[in-house]
Every structure is written in structure tokens, then in C-alpha cells.
Structure 1
Amino acid sequence: MFIYLYAQFIYFIGFSWRNPVGSKKKSTMNKMSYFLMCLLLAVSSCKKGSAPKVPLEGNEAVLPDFSWAGSSIAPAEITFTNLTKNATSHQWDFNNGTTSSKEQPGKVTFVTPGAYTVTLKAANKSHNVFTSRVLLITTDDNPIASFSYGFKNKISYAPATVQFVNESANATSYEWDINGRKDNVKSPIDYIFSTAGTYKAKLVAINSSKRSAVFEQDIIIEANPNPVAKFAVGKTPGGYFVGQEIYLINQSTNSDSYLWNFGIGGPADTSIEHAVVKFAKAGKHTIRLVSKKGNLTSKPYTITILVKDI
């Protein structure tokens, strides 16, 4: 249709060029009317909503996730819902002899009581990842408390962000105690552990008959193996002045060597642990410290100070 319309348009332009204004005016008007009719016909023939769908590129990170619903008393029919993002293929293993490659597998039957590790593998063109959760199938309606946890961005050293997943069964309400922080929600918000150590996490699961079950687990946070650069600038009355000695207190951790940089207009770099610096010019100066341990290098730590004329 558009090729035909284009041909008609070229014909009309050529006709108008061969017939100057004032000659065969009526014929020119007829040609214009004919062209406009073709244009309207072409526009009306375009189907609404016929724009092609943009396919998934396959480079996005796959974020596997799923949930389930249903009674957990055996024999149990559990409905699984796939919440995965950016995946083009899915593979389920329900740990009961049943598998599925459907995006939404629907209902799955668990005949006998037990703890079933349900795994979902999700992939696209560039990524292939999986996630697993434990489904508890019971013999009665007594509550069972259970949870698992993982580390955000797979960082298990301090400061570490821990993400909790409630895997309890036959419960209608919950009481969490994570290192002294209490919540009454099904799934608590992420918890940040700032220092290394072993911490307690407890979950109480309660059913509609007010019967309860308790599950406790230790959360182990490792020490950060990487060097961390940090320092403080010694305070002086009235601020900092040209030619004044400014003391820099190194507070780096897990480090055995250091490199100080004092920016444009500052003195030369130094590798001593605690530096003393003088600036010859007034203005803002950025002090930068990088620490190392063996072959590991910290992220730079910077502080900007204002140096005044005397």
C-alpha cells in the first residue's frame, strides 16, 4: 500500500511540475483529491496495535524467585507462582520426583510429609542461575517454624546485609528476634550486621489455635578480608591555615601499607602511616588515602578541607 501511495505521490509531483500554476488548474485539483484519498485509505488500513514486540535482549541479569500457596498438610496440593525476572527458560525440580519446564507450573502434589527442597533454574541468552527454598509438608495442622538466610550480593563479611526467607508451615502469625530487633511480619526486612561475629536469629510461628513453634539459627558474619582505608583530620581552633601542620590520623583496618595523596597544589605523596601535611596555598584541598594488604588494595578514602590564608 505504501509503495503504491509513494508512486502516486511522485506522479502527482511530476504532473504539477509539468503543468505550471494557472494551467489545467482543474486537472491538478483532481489529482490532489485523488492523492488525499489514497493517503486516507493507507492510514485506515493500518491495524491498531500491530507494532512488533521488542524481543528480550538476553543480556539482563536473571533474578530467580518464586512463591507458593496451599495447605501444607499431606497429601498437599501446592500452587507455585514464578516471580522470576528477565528469564526466557525455566526448569523446576520439586524434590518429589516431579519436574517441569513451564514458566508457571501450577499445582504440584506432595503425598508424604517431609522437607522438600524446591529448586527453580532460570536462564536467558547470557545468564543461567537458580534459587532453592525448603517446603515443609506436615501430618497435622501444628505449626512448624523454619527460615533460611542468604547474603546480599554474596558478601558474607562485615558489613554484611542478610536476607531472611520464612519457610514455616501451618502458621498465621510470626514473631522474629534478629539480634535483638523484633518484627511481627512474615518476612522481615534485610538486616545489616556491621561487625564480624556470631549472632542469634529466632522465629516463633503461631497458628490460628495459638499453638506455636520456635526455630533458632546462628548467623555467622566473617571479618572483612579486604583492606579498608580510613582516616581523620586533627581538629585545630579556627580551622586550617596556610603553612600550618595538619595531623592525619590513620584509622585503616586490615592494612599493612599506605599511600597518601594531597591533590593539586599539595605536597608530594607519602607512604607513612600517620601523615603530617602543610599546604602552601589557600583553598579547598582533597586528601586521599589508599591502603593495601599484600596484593589487595582498598577503595580510596577522601576528605576535603578548607585551608585559609593567615
Structure 2
Amino acid sequence: MKKTLLLFLFFVITSCYQETAIAIEGEFTTSYVDQDESIPVIIKIDNKVTGADTYEWTFEGGNPSVSNSKNPGEILYSKQGTYIIKLIAKNVDGESQEFTKTVEIKDGINIEFTHEIVKSNYSPVEVILKNSTIGEGLTFKWEFQDGSPASFTGKTPPNVIFTTPGEHTITLTVSNGFESDKQTKTITVNPYLVSLFTYEPKFEDDDYEASVTIDFTNKSVSATSYKWTFEGGNPAVSTEENPTVVFASAGTHEVILEASNDKTSQVFKSTITVLPDTNLRTFANIKLGINTAHNGNNIGAMFSTITREVYKANEINDENSALIDIVFQGLNSNFTYNRFISPDQANNYGFLALKNAQSTIFVNSQNLCNCGLNFTEAQFDSMENDTPIKALNISYTAGGAQEFGFTYPKIILFKTQDGRKGAIKIKEMVKNGTSSYILCDIKVQKQ
């Protein structure tokens, strides 16, 4: 009887145990750490499976690649792709369940592109673009400011043309579907080609009388080469950027500049009028002060027909003192005693000595010189070339060097150390105390 009861209880207990076996249920979830889907990517595993005693994880493309932990934690992915995470869960009852998830790992974005300008950056500018960005599953969007085309979608765009001068941006935006990045580069298109020049005669040729030496200044824009043609000039042609040319004959001469770059060329023309040579230099309204005006540094008493400047006492130096060829002595503001004196005699008439001074002959009084001179105011006014004074015998005499008083208009003749002859017309004698001065015109032969 006891054996029968025990056997019955065994079957009851066994039957109850089989009915209450624990099933394997649930799932596991994945998430991107920091919501970062671009490599390197860390996937966090959250295991919510129940009823299992052992776990076999396989992480395709991951590190680690396998695990037996219930919660393997975080898995690192270093390469773009779509990967399967598989879990095989088992228990002691022999039950086994397989769970899978798919994760998508996107390529990281590291933009690399270069641009190359064909020929030069003079308009129009053609640009070759090379995209070296590495990665799979990426999309590319190009934008070309003021370019043709203005935009392009794809990894490698066609050549782009920029025509408008100035700076232009090239922007590449790369996306992996999760995030995007952009890189911008700038190209500069040089201004349109312009052919242009200015010119200026040498100081001694500013009257444009033949022969004239002229310096040309190239003002062209975006030019790399130059071809000059000078009608009546020497040289007649030139490829220099800033040439100097001599025009020996009077007349109107055409100057042509063809400026070029590797894209185009342009021509600019101008004319230069060269006047007949008068061999006469004219200076109008020259103020020469009396001694006190000069020494007080108010109005200079010394003049150079070479530099064409009046010098006060404090303006004279070692460089210009040897170029002074006219000196006026006005003894007082009433002009009772006046004369023009040779620069090398200045220290004898109330001035400081001039270094390397010139020797100029002055005829202050044509009436007293006894040298046959009678050059009139009318002759001075009508003189348009050096013919009227060329034959004059201007030489030193004591009578001709005599002083003169308050009288004008008055003509004074002179001859410089280098043999140039000239005449001074005193137009006015202005009484103004220690700043008194004479106002005169001067005509002199050229060097």
C-alpha cells in the first residue's frame, strides 16, 4: 500500500514540474551611443530576454565579435556597413531561441577636394575639381558661386567656368544620411584685361619741344605682355613694360599699346604732339626778394634756370647751390640800389657764399655798358625763340654791371657759365618793408 502511494505522488510531482517549465521570451535592443551613427560607432546592447541560462552573442563586424555575457555592454564598429547582431539564448530545459537585429554603420565624413585653374586666373577662369573624399554611402552636393554650372550633385563635377572678376566660393557638402559636413574654398578671378598707359616728358622736355624724351607708365590691368608702337619715336617698337622714347621731330605722333594675357588682348591708342624747337625757356611771374626778404627766409633772391626754382637762404644746400645762376641784390625796401650779381660774387653783396658757385655775366644797364646792346621790352615780349638774343654780345663791363634804382619795366641781359643767353624783364617792384620784392619774367636759351 505504501509503495503504491509513493508511486502516485512521483507521477503527480513530475507532471506538475513539466507544466511549469520557464520559456525563453523577450528581446534585446540596440542604441547608438551619443546618437552617433558615423564611424567609429559604439552600439549599446540592452538585453531584455528572460528564461535563458546561457547567451551566445555574435557581432558581425563588431569588436568584440562574440560574447557569452548576458549583457555584453558596448560594441565598437570601425567600418561602414550593415551588420547583424545575433543572440542564441538557451536554458537548462533544452529550450533555445535565436534573436537578431540589424545595425547600419555609416561612413565618417572627412572632406578632401582640390581645385586646379587651367592656364591662369584671368577671366574666363576654368577650374578642374578633384574629389578625394574617402567613404561609401556618401552623397555630394557642390555649389559654385557665380559659376557655370552653379551646382552639381555627385562625387566628381565637370569643369566649372567663372567669368565675373572677384572672389568666388566653391562649397562641397557631404552627407552620410545621418550627418553632413561642408568645406569651402575660394578662387580669385582677375579683373578683365584693360590696356592703358600714361606718359610724362623728362623735366627738361616738359615744353614738348623737339626733341622730347618721354617716360611711359603702363597702367594696364591683368596684362602679362606688352607690344608698343611709337610713330616717329626711337625706339619705334618695344616690349618693355615701361619704355622711354625719344621723339626727335615736331608733329603729332600716335602711340599704340597692345596689352595681352593668355586669354585675350586689347589695344589702347593715344597721340603726342611735339612742338618745333624754339631753344627758349620762359619763366613768368618770378618773385625775387630784396636781401632782407632772402636772408629772413621770406622771399628768395636766388633762382636756378636749371631747376626752375627760387631759393631762400635756408633752402640752399650743397646740391642746389651749384645750380643757381641768377642772384638779385636789393639793398633796401625803397629799391634805391639794385643789381643782378654773379652767384660766385654773392658773398660780396650781403649773402652767404655759395658752394661751387656759377659765374653769370649780367648787363644791368645797357645804356652804360658801351657794348652796343639795345634789347627792348617790345623785343622781349615778342620773342618766341632764341633768335633775337642768339647774336647779342653779352660780356662783362664795369658799366654794364652798374646798379639801378626804382625803375620798371626794365630789361637785364645775362649769359650763364655754360654759354646760355637770356633776358630778364622786371615788370614790377613791390615795396613791402623787409619783404619787398621784384616781379619778373625770364627768357633764356635751353641747355
Looking at CA atoms only, which structure, 1 or 2, has the larger radius of gyration? Answer: 2
TM-score, normalisation: structure 1: 0.31
Higher relative contact order (CA 8 A, sep 6+): 1
TM-score, normalisation: structure 2: 0.23
